Amino acid sequence: MDALLEIMRKRRSIRKYTGEHVSEEDLKKILQAGLLAPTGKNLKSAEFVVVRDRETLDKLADSRSIGAATLKGADAAIIVIGFSQIQDVWTEDCSIALTQMHLMAASLGVGSVWIQSRLRQSAVAGKSTDEYLHELLGIPADYCCEGILSLGMPDEAKDAYDLPDPAADARVHAGKFDSTNYDKIRLFGG
C-alpha cells in the first residue's frame, strides 16, 4: 500500500503523553516537514515558535478557554504564525505547514494534536487566543496565530481509520453537486 496513504490512515490526534522526551532529532524532522510545506506565491509566510520549557507550555494551555488542556502534559509545542502583512492566504500557508508536521509526527511515532488559535478565546476574560499568544511569546503585531501543534510521546493508542472508498462516500460528488447527499447528511445529519 502507498506509504503516505498508510501514514494518513493511521494518523490520529494524540492528547495524552507519557512525559518522555521527544528527541531533538524527531523535532528537527517535524520542523523540516513544516518548512517544506507549499505556500501561496511561494511567499513562505508561515513561521514557527518552538517551545520546550515547562512553564511556557503550561501557560500555553491557557491560550484557550477550552480545548488546550493537553498542553499541560506536552513535551513540546510548535506555534504556527503567519506573516499576514505580505500574505492574504497566510491561514492556508500555516494550515498546510501544521498538517505536514502533524503527519510527520505520526510517521515518527510522536503523538500530536492541532490546537486551534485563530478565531478562538483564551482563558483570560476578554482576551483572544491571538492576543494571549502575542503577549506570551513576544510575537510582533504583523503576524497572526493560526494554531499550536502539541507534541509528546503517546500515552494513548487510537484505532487507524479504514481506507475510505471515494465511490461510496457521500462527501464526494461526481461531476456536479449531488443534493441527495446534502439533504441526507447536511440537513438531517445523515
| Chain residues that interact with ligand FMN, rule: CB under 6 A | 12-13, 15, 67, 70, 113-116, 158
- Least gap, CB of 12 to ligand FMN (angstroms): 4
Give the three-class secondary structure for 94: helix
- Least gap, CB of 179 to ligand FMN (angstroms): 26
Between 11 and 134, whose beta carbon lies closer to ligand FMN? 11
Helix 3-10 crosses helix 90-108 at what angle (to 10 degrees)?
90
Cβ 72 vs Cβ 17: under 8 Å: no
- Least gap, CB of 17 to ligand FMN (angstroms): 13
The DSSP letter of residue 138 is T
Between 15 and 134, whose beta carbon lies closer to ligand FMN? 15
Between 40 and 67, whose beta carbon lies closer to ligand FMN? 67
Cβ 63 vs Cβ 129: under 8 Å: yes
